Each structure stands twice: as C-alpha cells, then as structure tokens.
A and B are shown apart, each in its own frame.
Chain A
C-alpha cells in the first residue's frame, strides 16, 4: 500500500514538474531575464521530484534488506546519498548547459566539454549501483538480487536498442535520444527487482 502511494506520489510530482516547466516556459518567453535567474527558475521546476524522494525516505525508510545489527542499512544509505547527489549534479549541468547554448554563442569545443560534463554524473549513477552491488558490508542475498536485476535490465535495454535500431533502418522510426538509455536502464532496474525477489519466494 505504501509503495502504491509512493508510486502515485511520483506520478503526481512528475505531472506537477511538467506543468511548472510549461508555466516557466510561457512566463520567460517574452522576458529578457538574466541567465542565472532563468536557470534558477528552471531548476525550481524539478524541486517536486526531489521533494518526493525525501518524502519517500521519511515515510518509506530502507527496510530489512541488508545485514542485521546497526550497519544493516549502511550500503543502501550510501547508495541513496550517491544517487541523489549525482541526480542533482546531472539536472543542474543539463539545465545550465542547455540554457547557455540557447543564450550565448558557445564554441564547438566548449559544447563538447559541456556534453561530457552533463554525461559524467550519469556515469556516477552507474558507479553508485555497481558500488551498492559490490559493497562488502552488504547482504549477499541482496547482492544476488541486485546483480540479477542489473543483468536483466541490461539485457532488456540492449534488446530495445537493437529493435529500435532496426525500426530506424527499416521503418523510418524517429531517432531515439541515446542519452535516455541510462534513465531507462534505471527504470528497468527498478521494475525488475520485485520480479527477481519473487523468484526466491
């Protein structure tokens, strides 16, 4: 029930963020705001998404998935902290770069640097997951579930990429934005975990 409520909360906050984005887009269209102010406005539209993460941590604390005793939740806590840190870094870099390219004349070299800097936190997200899986303080069963989920998610994302590639070649399907691969991978990673856990019941 709590998980269902959290899912509902996530959907509502995504909708709120989307609407806020549209409002900001309409509001800034005819204004010549300074770069930093407009960036802050855009960043504010993502706040509900981070708020739901904090609400989730308060109402759905990490439960008994790790080893017992006081260090039970440490690997998950480390993972959550790393996840939120890299997610924030990515969002800030993405919005700052996007707005800078739109506002100023940015050279190709600088665009390359901005592209790499925007993608780096996504690499951090991958590192956070792999670290959780390899955490020596973690629970071995939990590690097995994570490893299987990661493999299934990787398999599914590669399969999806192959299908979409052929659709682009044979059926003129629109280009799939490759940068969405990692967010999609995380969604699949999250979705496969309950199924993997279910196989052990």
Chain B
C-alpha cells in the first residue's frame, strides 16, 4: 500500500526513530511501512492518522480501490 508517511515525517523533520517512538512501534516498522512493503494494522493506521491529524485515506493510498 502506497503512503506519504515519509513526506509527512520529513515535513516535521522527524527521524524514523522519532516517529517510531511517537507511534510506540519499532523503527523497523516505520521503515517497512514507508517503503510500502508492510501494511500497518488498522489500529496502527488510526494512530498514524491521529498523529498527523489527517484522514487515513489521505495518508494511505489503496492501489486496488476499484470498489
């Protein structure tokens, strides 16, 4: 799943470790999500959305949104 997490993080000049700490996950989690290789769980996606004060669908782009 594509996302703009790295852009949002860069805008705030946060490192992956800083973002990981704010989300209470590992730095590896942040890295895997940013590269689009790992899709976060729904609770984590909500935490990310709340942290950046944006709707989930503005951060994550569903590549199969035919429905």
Q: Is A64 touching B28 in the complex (CB atoms < 8 A)?
A: yes
User: How many residues in B have their beta carbons less than 8 Å from beta carbons of A?
Assistant: 20
Q: Is A141 touching B37 in the complex (CB atoms < 8 A)?
A: no
- B20-52 CB mask vs A (1 if < 8 Å, else 0) is 111111111101110101101100100000000
B4 within 8 A of A: no
A66 within 8 A of B: yes
With a cutoff of 8 Å between Cβ atoms, the chain B residues found around residue A66 in the complex are 26
Q: Is B24 touching A141 in the complex (CB atoms < 8 A)?
A: no
Give the contacting residue for A141; candidates B17, B22, B28; CB below 8 A. B28
A201 to B17, CA, bound (A): 16
Residue of A nearest to B40 (CB): A140
With a cutoff of 8 Å between Cβ atoms, the chain A residues found around residue B17 in the complex are 64, 68
Q: A64-B17, A68-B20, A68-B21 are in contact. Are A142 and B35 (CB under 8 A)?
A: no
Chain B: residues with CB nearer than 8 A to chain A?
17, 20-29, 31-33, 35, 37-38, 40-41, 44
Chain A: residues with CB nearer than 8 A to chain B?
64-69, 72, 139-142, 144, 197, 199-201
Beyond A64-B20, A200-B38, list 5 extra A-B contacts (CB 8 Å).
A139-B29, A140-B25, A140-B29, A141-B33, A201-B31
A-B pairs with beta carbons under 8 Å apart, 23 shown: A64-B26, A64-B27, A64-B28, A66-B26, A68-B17, A68-B20, A68-B22, A69-B21, A72-B26, A139-B25, A139-B26, A140-B40, A141-B25, A141-B26, A141-B29, A141-B32, A141-B33, A142-B26, A142-B29, A200-B28, A200-B38, A201-B31, A201-B32
